[in-house]
Structures are given as structure tokens and as C-alpha cells.
Amino acid sequence: MSVINEATCDGLWTACSHHPATLAWARLQQRPVETAEVAVLKKRFKSAIFRIGGVGPASSSIVAKYCQKEVAAHERVVYEQILRGLPVSSPRYYGFVQGDSNYDWVFLEYVEGQQYSRERADHAILAGRWLGLLHALGARVPAAARLPGRASAYYLQHLRTTGEKLQRNQNRIHLPAHELATVKGVISQCNFLESHWGQIERWCDRMPSTLLHGDFKPRNVIIRTVNGLPALFPFDWEVSGWGVPAEDLAYIDLAAYRDVVQCHWPGVTMRDLHCMKIVGRIFRGLCEFRWESVKFEPDWDFSAIKLDIYYLRMKEAIEMAEWEE
């Protein structure tokens, strides 16, 4: 692992006061941490996320995220300048600490609760209301408009990058026939969508630009009871930005969403939102294609298993739309 020594990312430590995450938290609190349990929540090539038990308020757990400076700076803007002024539930932000070289630490409340499910109607309604508030009121926050652009051009670039990568390497990587068929299918989908991109842009023009989460999926959302009622706690704002909020709408209850936004955006109709839901699934699919295409290189041990799942999702999204000839 390139971020923190691999041995630091294996398993659970008891009474671990010398773990890098614990030391960084002690620097933020300006006092030593006597004892703590540290566990890995997630590790990637360029980041690591840890849970530190018993060191937060009332002996609660906290999340320590070690990531590149630009990622940490982006999330700091979201937590320090945007979310704190909006009436939406979110994990408590404790602060940040400079790390080594090109990395920093970000510290958040560890939210315990139930994982969000796209298949549950009550969860989809909660998501619709929460995102309605985020989008309608986030559009008024000056700092949100300075986030990276998430207009349709952002997703078009994902489409082109994916198509070019798969096209270039499909004959350089030896795949079983069924996996190669998936790769060719994704290339075909990218070609089809690019040929209809003008229509997608016209659909996007029906929605105001605003703050969007950009990665609103089950593993990034926890539901916790607050004052006797369920509350949504999304996290992981790395790809959040400013633009058309279609991707956030891909799997939510649109009626609940419209109930919140209609007084702020009276010109947006239910038909517009249905179009955005479809576009959101397409945009979500293009992001998934892009993530998988990164590994589509002769030097990687590539498998098309995930790509096949994303291909089928995209097929469904394309079939949902009414395309112009």
C-alpha cells in the first residue's frame, strides 16, 4: 500500500496509542490518547479510512480518513463551508491534521445505524427529502458553486475516456468470449449515448445547477434514529461538485423529492424529474464504466464481472428513455 505501511492496515489493534491515526487525532485534540482500538474500515491505493474507538465525545468512535491533500481540502470545504449551514443531517466534522508528504487526515463522527437500501421504499423517500433539501438550499451557498463542475460535459468525458480505453485494448487483453462480448457491448453503449448526447444535454437544461453529492450509493449512506425519527447521514464527498443533480436522483423517490424542491424550483415538473432520473442512471453508469476501465490494461489481471453488472444496468437505463431518431 502506498499511503500507510501495509502492516498498519491489517486487522484490529487494542490499546493502540501509537497508530498513525491515533497520533494524528492526539495532535488535533492537543492531548495524548492513552488507549484506543483502531480498525480498518476501507483501504485503497491512495487512501485509508480507520475507526478509532472510544476517543470521541462521550467515549464515542470517530472516523480517521487519510487521503491526498486535494481530496482532504475538497471535503473540508464541504464540511466547513457548506453542510454546516444547511438543514440536513450529516456526520459531525471534527477537523483535519496535516499528514506526511502529499496526505492529510480528516476526522469525522462514526455514525452507527442501518445501511441505506435502494430497494426499500421508506429509504427512498428519506433520500428524496434529504436530497431535495441539499439541492434546493445548497444552490444558494457560494462555496458550493466553486466546487468542481459536474455538468453533462463531465460525464461525456467519462464516456469518451472509457470508450477509447476499451476500444484500444480489447484486442490486447485475452478474455473469455463472454467477457469480450461484455466489453464490446459497453463500447456499443458508449457509441450510442455519444450519438444522442445532444438530447441528454437538452434534458439536463431543464434542471438548475446546484450542489450534488455525486456518489450517493448504499455504502456511503447510514440511517440513524434521531429524536425518534429516522435520519439520513451520507458521507464520502470526494466527487461532489456543482452541476446538474441528475446522478443523485437515480434511485430515489421522486415524489418526496418534488415535495421539497417545488417551492424553490416551481418550473421543474415531474416529467423533468423522471428524465433526470433516467439521465442520472446513465451518468452513474458512465462513472462505473470509467472506474472499471482504469484496470483495462494488458499488465492488469482484468475481469469483466463487475463490468457486466454495469453493462446490464446501463442497458436498463437506455431502455427507459424515449430517444429521438
Q: What percent of the chain has pLDDT over 90?
A: 84
Give the lowest-confidence range in 34-48, 188-202, 247-261, 263-277: 34-48
Rounded distance between C-alpha atoms, residue 285 and residue 243, angstroms: 17
Residue in this structure with the C-alpha cell 505501511, named with its chain if needed: 5
Ordered by start, the domain boundaries in the chain are: 6-109, 115-320
**Would you state the pLDDT for residue 16?**
62
Q: Global pTM? A: 0.91
In the predicted structure, residue 160 carries a pLDDT above the cut 60:
yes
- Model confidence band, residue 35 (pLDDT cutoffs 50, 70, 90): confident
Mean pLDDT on 206-232: 96
The per-residue pLDDT of the chain, averaged, comes to 92
Per-residue pLDDT at 230: 97
CATH code given to domain 115-320: 3.90.1200.10
User: Does 129 score more than 70 pLDDT?
Assistant: yes
pLDDT recorded at residue 9:
47
Look at residues 161, 167, 157 and name the one whose alpha carbon lies nearest to residue 188.
167
pLDDT of residue 13: 47
- In whole angstroms, what is the distance from residue 93 CA to residue 62 CA? 10
Lowest-confidence range among 12-16, 95-99, 104-108?
12-16
Q: What is the pLDDT of residue 14?
A: 47
Rounded to whole angstroms, the Cα distance separating 62 from 246 reads: 32
Q: What is the dihedral of CA 56, 36, 74, 283, to 10 degrees?
A: -100
Distances (CA, A) of 63 to 21, 96, 107, 110: 9, 11, 6, 5
**Residue 6's pLDDT is what?**
43
CB neighbourhood size of 205 (10 A): 10
Q: How confident is the model at residue 32 (pLDDT cuts 50, 70, 90)?
A: confident
What per-residue confidence (pLDDT) applies to 87?
97
Q: What is the pLDDT of residues 68-85, one digit of tens each?
A: 999 999 999 999 999 999
What average pLDDT does the segment 31-51 reach? 88
Contact 123, 223 (CB under 8 A): yes
pLDDT category of residue 2 using cuts at 50, 70 and 90? very low
Average pLDDT over residues 156-170: 94
Is the predicted pLDDT of residue 287 greater than 90, yes or no? yes
Q: How much is the average pLDDT of 234-261?
A: 97
Which CATH number is 6-109 given? 3.30.200
Give the whole-angstrom CA distance, residue 43 versus residue 9. Answer: 8
Residue 306 pLDDT > 80: yes
